[in-house]
Amino acid sequence: MGRPRKPTSLKLVEGSRDRRPLELQAAEPRPDGEVGEAPDHFTARQRKVWERIVHAAPWGLLKALDRYVLEQFVMAVSRIEEANERYRDGPMLIKTASGIVVENPLLRIIRQQAMLVRAFAGELGFSPASRTRIACEQPPIDDDPEGYFGGY
């Protein structure tokens, strides 16, 4: 597994690692469209997580093409929340019917979903390290003189 790809916007500033001309990256796709509302099949918890994430994401970061990765991310986050609620007052170790002491299965679910969340967060630009590798559009500036002068 090699280094992650350098975003084209960063290559324009720093140059390419492999020193190829930047014209080769000119055809890089630029997704369009907003990510939209939460999917219909989501539970109430998943809808809340979706809204939290979409509102917390930097303006212009999430596009319609990211919807399916975001959907998986939201489902993993909501599973962690649900498992944590169920585990909150439970024991770390449990005894099976045969008397063997094992780790609470909720801990395995939390651990597995946390690994998924970490992977999806890196893909979507939600982790501190991944944010250093992306560039976002800037929100439009509302420079209406009426707002400054009150209609004078």
Tens of pLDDT, residue by residue over 3-27, are 666 666 555 555 666 666 655 455 5
- HSE, CB side, 13 Å, CA atoms: give it for residue 115: 5
- Report residue 32 as tokens: 């369009």
> What are φ and ψ of residue 93, in 5° steps?
-115, 145
> Does the predicted model carry a pTM greater than 0.85?
no
- Report residue 6 as tokens: 């350098």
Return the bridge partners of 51, or none: none
